[in-house]
Amino acid sequence: MFADRSQAGRTLGRLVADQVHDSPVVVLALPRGGVPVAFEVARCLDATVDFDIFLVRKLGVPDREELAFGAIATGGVRVLNRDIIEQLEVPDDIIEQVAHCQQLELERRERAYRQERPPVGLRGRVVILVDDGLATGATMIAAVGAVRQHEPARIVVAVPVASRQTCEQLRSIADQMICAETHDPFFAVGYWYGDFEQVSDAQVRALLRQFTSQDPTPGAQRRHAP
């Protein structure tokens, strides 16, 4: 379906540019796979857009890590699923233990990617959350919940490809859902890419630097993150 993440991002970016006309806009990438996609989406928008990353770490039930009882995210945000916590009787000390471990990893990644660069402010702005695709959508659902706590004007979820069921689920959670392609059966995100090589930390840092330090699109003014 897509040659690579950059080509997917350009395809998605054209859709976003056609459908999102609000301002001011922040394009947030979910690292690492979402960063090359979001970079191209941001390039397709006007010169006032900001580009940043938004880190989310799921809080998994011990011995059942695929089942998340919550998430933590950039900016010290914590989102808990009280229904799962009560159903599985997850004790407070386990919640704190898991959250502490994931917070350490989130902080490590923040340092690796940002290198002291502060996060872009989200309050009152249109936030476009971008990933390279959605299978179950668990991380994106957590990201929407976390971004919502920053009081944005609107949240738009934008991805090149997703399962049809997950796309509909996100449509009911975000203010707007933009998906270039939906499929059923879905298999996996990588199935829809010719090149799905893992994105490195160095690539993430390079794309962040490139967007804020040079002119990414012909005729556009240089963008500066606040």
CATH class of 5-55+118-213: alpha beta
Average pLDDT, the chain: 89
Q: Which CATH number fits domain 57-114: 1.10.443, 3.40.50, 1.10.150, 3.30.1310?
A: 3.30.1310
Given a cut of 70, whether residue 21 has pLDDT beyond it is: yes
CB atoms within 10 A of CB 40: 24
54-82: per-residue pLDDT in tens?
Answer: 999 889 898 887 788 888 888 788 888 89
pLDDT of 214 reads: 54
Distance CA 155, CA 141 (A): 12
Q: 35 near 43, Cβ under 8 Å?
A: no
- Mean pLDDT check: name the lowest of 58-67, 127-136, 216-225: 216-225
pLDDT of 46 reads: 74
Q: 129 near 160, Cβ under 8 Å?
A: no
Q: What are phi and psi of 6, to 5 degrees?
A: -65, -45
Given a cut of 80, whether residue 116 has pLDDT beyond it is: no
- Mean pLDDT check: name the lowest of 17-21, 46-50, 127-131: 46-50
- Domain definitions of the chain by residue range: 5-55+118-213, 57-114
Nearest CA-CA partner of 71 in 141, 131, 20? 141
CATH topology agreement for domains 5-55+118-213 and 57-114: no
Percent pLDDT > 90 in the chain is 67
